[in-house]
Amino acid sequence: MRNFVVWRPLTVLLALAAVHGAAMAAECKPDALGTSRVIVVDPSEHGRIGTMQYPETLPLRDHEVVLTFDDGPLPPNTPKVLDILASECVKATFFLVGSMANASPALVRRTFADGHTIATHTQTHSPRIWKWPAANQEADINQGIASVTQALGDSGTLSPFFRFPGLGKSKEVEAYLASQGIMVWSADFPADDWTHISSKQVAARALDRLERKGKGVLLLHDIHKVTVVALPEILKELKRRHYSVVQVVAAGPGQPKTATDPQQWVLQTPAKPPAAPRQGGVPLPRERRPL
């Protein structure tokens, strides 16, 4: 079953996003963090990224970060996340669950209207979906794509980006997604915001792990209150530590990929990373599989 999503010409979409982004920038505070640049990627050349699972990641420069949010949209937390990002003129990638998009289509449209990249995260986000037969996984993935596309309607378009729930995966489904021209995203580090920790711990883990890698793709969840509380601190610290936020979009007709060298897709950790952060004398736990 082939993907039936109709991709609009990205030149038109990015032009609209640029106009909307300029209007938003005018409303931002003078010292807003902002979005430093946009990377255009070709899923057919780099179909799987994120060093939590794959050898490649996005071709970021030192001190660049891509913000990603999973599992939404869900009021009231997703609107609060969008408000926080808008206040800093920051753009992110949202991996939406189809059933959540069905329940809150206006929120899907707002996310796109705010200039963010819209991607998918299955229809049901069922526990251990990666254990299902491949055909069942593919059907759930396709339904998720259809639901988010329907929620967007004529107001926006879907990017050919996908993240497995819980970062579960299989070679068979990965091959299927590649055949559909869909890029699979893992992450380079999470903030553990789906676990039972405080907002201060969420921010600390996000920033500590970013510091250790020097750049990368951060995994967050816009459905959780703890993330809403932690996000302003994360953005404040990114600015204070001189990090830049990068947005990612897919290449298409009239929108060529960003020129890169192969080595830029391999994450090189800093030569002298800071000592592992500790809390209460105990090292932080290992990065866990997200929900």
For residues 143 and 136, is the Cβ–Cβ distance under 8 A? no
Token pair of 114, please?
């705010």
Token pair of 287, please?
């990065």
Ranges of H-type helices in 43-131 = 77-87, 98-103, 105-113
Residue bearing tokens 């259809």: 146
Catalytic residue among 46, 70, 222, 224: 70
Catalytic residue among 46, 121, 125, 221: 221
Helices 134-152/171-179 angle, 10° precision? 40
177 three-class SS: helix
Q: Which of 93, 86, 108 is closest to 21 using CA atoms?
A: 86
Q: Is 221 a catalytic residue?
A: yes
Q: Give CA torsion, residues 81, 291, 147, 137, to 10 deg.
A: 160
The whole-angstrom separation of Cα 93 and Cα 33 is 17
Task: Provide the annotated active-site residues.
Answer: 70, 221
